[in-house]
Amino acid sequence: MPSIDLNADAGESFGPWKMGSDEALFPLLSSVNLATGFHAGDPLTMQRSIALAKKHGVAVGAHPGFPDLVGFGRRDLAVTPEQAYADTLYQIGALAAFLKVEGMPLHHVKPHGALYLQMLRNEATAEAVARAVRDYDPELPLVLLPNTPMEAAARRVGVRYVREAFPDRAYLADGRLAPRSMEGALVRDPERAAERAVQMVLEGKVAALDGGEVEVRAETLCVHGDNPEAVEIARAVRRALEAAGVDVRSYR
């Protein structure tokens, strides 16, 4: 039976400001990427999110980003490799402390937003983040987009990595994610996202926004938790995968 991990970005509330519907979303997932206080989240939100994940048997990964609460980590910052390394290690350690108290392992690390995108085009940033993950734990997987400088950096550094795909984001024919500014870049229809997820897992490909098809190799699928339709999309994706005979479970 084929299997796939289903993850989402979550724990992104901050103080009294609420983002996402984590209580409804977590039961549909096999792993979750929790904000670590730089782009979103705070200590109490991390603590509560881990307790929620433990309740539902969901594996927990760190979701480090740029120090950009105002821009939700989606503004491209000019960071040095040294800063990217230190910021990533700092955020991993913050989440790991709460996990240790709950008796849960850190499952993976997945960069957020503009940091993730910068790693797709900037080898120095990609290598700095990969080194931070490796130096914390060489067996800790780094979640990344395949066939990019992210994957090349992970190989050079010698960190374990897991390839990711996005049923709720459009791809361009060259394999890149379509910029959010492009019309059609966000897939908001749950049934369409579900169809794309099944095609990604069973056929290893998906339609490109600018024509043709893109090869997809992934061990995990991501649903964006800040999408207003996130819960409906995750429910439709999981239902479609299981109906197609795919086992939804974490990859560790």
Tens-digit pLDDT profile for residues 119-171: 999 999 999 999 999 999 999 999 999 988 999 999 999 999 999 999 998 88
Supply 165's token pair. 């795909």
Least trusted range by pLDDT, from 6-15, 27-36, 181-190, 192-201: 181-190
pLDDT at 227 over 80: no
Strand positions, DSSP E, 37-93: 59-63
Q: Which H or E element spans position 187?
A: none
Please state at what angle helix 123-136 crosses helix 81-102, rounded to 10 degrees: 30
Residue indicated by tokens 């492009």: 182
Supply 223's token pair. 């649903």
* Residues ≥6 apart with Cβ < 8 Å to 187: 167, 168, 169, 170, 193, 196, 233
Please state at what angle helix 149-157 crosses helix 113-121, rounded to 10 degrees: 80
Domain with 12, as residue range(s), is 3-248
pLDDT at 228 over 90: no
Quick check: 132 and 125 in contact, CB under 8 A?
A: no
Please report the pLDDT score of residue 161 as a whole number: 96
66-100 confidence digits (pLDDT tens): 999 999 999 999 999 999 999 999 999 999 999 99
pLDDT at 190 over 80: yes
Residue indicated by tokens 């940033």: 125
Q: Determine the Cα–Cα distance for residues 136 and 159; give it in Å rounded to an integer.
A: 10
Quick check: 225 and 9 in contact, CB under 8 A?
A: yes
Q: Determine the Cα–Cα distance for residues 77 and 188; give it in Å rounded to an integer.
A: 28
Please report the pLDDT score of residue 74 as a whole number: 92
Pairing of strands 213-215, 59-63: unpaired
Phi-psi region of 134 (alpha: psi -120 to 50; beta: other; left: phi over 0): alpha
For the entire predicted model, the pTM comes to: 0.93
Please report the pLDDT score of residue 177 as a whole number: 84
Please report the pLDDT score of residue 212 as a whole number: 82
Structure confidence at residue 208 as a pLDDT band (50, 70, 90): confident
Q: Is the dihedral of CA 198, 200, 201, 203 positive or negative?
A: positive
How many other CB atoms are there within 10 angstroms of residue 128's CB atom? 24
Q: Determine the Cα–Cα distance for residues 222 and 229; give it in Å rounded to an integer.
A: 13
Structure confidence at residue 186 as a pLDDT band (50, 70, 90): confident
Please report the pLDDT score of residue 158 as a whole number: 96
The CATH number assigned to the domain holding 90 equals 3.20.20.370
pLDDT at 226 over 90: no
Phi-psi region of 8 (alpha: psi -120 to 50; beta: other; left: phi over 0): beta
> What is the total count of domains within the chain?
1
Q: Determine the Cα–Cα distance for residues 34 and 187; give it in Å rounded to an integer.
A: 22
Please report the pLDDT score of residue 47 as a whole number: 98
Average pLDDT of the residues of the chain: 94
